[in-house]
Amino acid sequence: MDDLASLSQAIAACRICVEQPIRRPLPHEPRPVAWPSATARILIAGQAPGTRVHASGRPFTDPSGDRLRSWMAIDAATFYDRARIAVVPMGFCFPGLDAKGSDLPPRPECRATWHDRLMAAMPQIDLILAVGATAQHYHLTRLGLGRLIAPTLTETVGNWETILEVSAQPAVFAMPHPSWRNSGWLKRHPWFEAHLLPVLRRRIAERL
């Protein structure tokens, strides 16, 4: 198993998507934004940095982060306490924009190279916020719960109670992305804020 400190150093210096990309190279210099932790019990597994996080070098320094923190009922100081909360998105570098100006999906090179090693080096994680379909697919499959991945994100998130019931160690919360683009989704699915979030907040408070 890798040592987490040396793994973190190797990730910080990673240039795979420029020098050995699976398809097209990353259109800018890599700037990996991943905050693994040897002590945190909570892991936020998101998608990939957007333009603001690419500029700041800190995860969730954007309106999505504000919403995520309100979902978790924690302040920024707690959120950025790396001893208590790890942040490992499915792609560590901003992947660039598509022709319509939307963020491209997380780079597959990251998952192929780093994620299994990182998760093996953080065995103390016992609560995972799987934010978005890519993170849900990776973590549920890794934990042998791939059967709970539904054809749509709404259905997978709708399975949250079953997922929580069978994923005791670590517990997994399947969640939508906190982006403003999902404001309509949140209005159409009020059970997410009414039922899932109170359970999530309780589990987080128990681990802080």
The site for ligand SF4 (CB under 6 A) is made up of: 11, 14-17, 30, 32, 91-93, 107, 109-110, 113
Q: What is the closest distance, in whole angstroms, from the C-beta atom of residue 70 to ligand SF4 in the complex?
A: 28
Of the pair 113, 179, the CB lying nearest ligand SF4 is at: 113
Q: How far apart are the C-alpha atoms of 132 and 142, rounded to whole Å?
A: 16
Look at the block and give the residue holding tokens 């979030």: 197
Residue 41: Cβ within 10 Å count: 19
Q: What is the closest distance, in whole angstroms, from the C-beta atom of residue 2 to ligand SF4 in the complex?
A: 15
Instruction: Report helix angle 197-207 to 63-72, nearest 10.
Output: 80
Which residues fall within 8 angstroms of residue 204, CB to CB, at 6 or more apart?
42, 72, 73, 74, 127
List, in sequence order, every residue forming a beta bridge with 12; answer none if it has no partner: none
Look at the block and give the residue holding tokens 């916020």: 129
Q: What is the closest distance, in whole angstroms, from the C-beta atom of residue 106 to ligand SF4 in the complex?
A: 7
Of the pair 92, 160, the CB lying nearest ligand SF4 is at: 92
Residue type, 16: I
Residue type, 152: T
Q: What is the closest distance, in whole angstroms, from the C-beta atom of residue 25 to ligand SF4 in the complex?
A: 9
Q: What is the closest distance, in whole angstroms, from the C-beta atom of residue 123 to ligand SF4 in the complex?
A: 22
Of the pair 10, 38, the CB lying nearest ligand SF4 is at: 10
Q: What is the closest distance, in whole angstroms, from the C-beta atom of residue 55 to ligand SF4 in the complex?
A: 16
Of the pair 41, 115, the CB lying nearest ligand SF4 is at: 115
Of the pair 17, 140, the CB lying nearest ligand SF4 is at: 17
32: nearest Cα among 61, 62, 53: 53
Which residues fall within 8 angstroms of residue 132, CB to CB, at 6 or more apart?
46, 47, 90, 153, 175, 176, 177
Q: How far apart are the C-alpha atoms of 92 and 54, rounded to whole Å?
A: 10
Of the pair 113, 167, the CB lying nearest ligand SF4 is at: 113
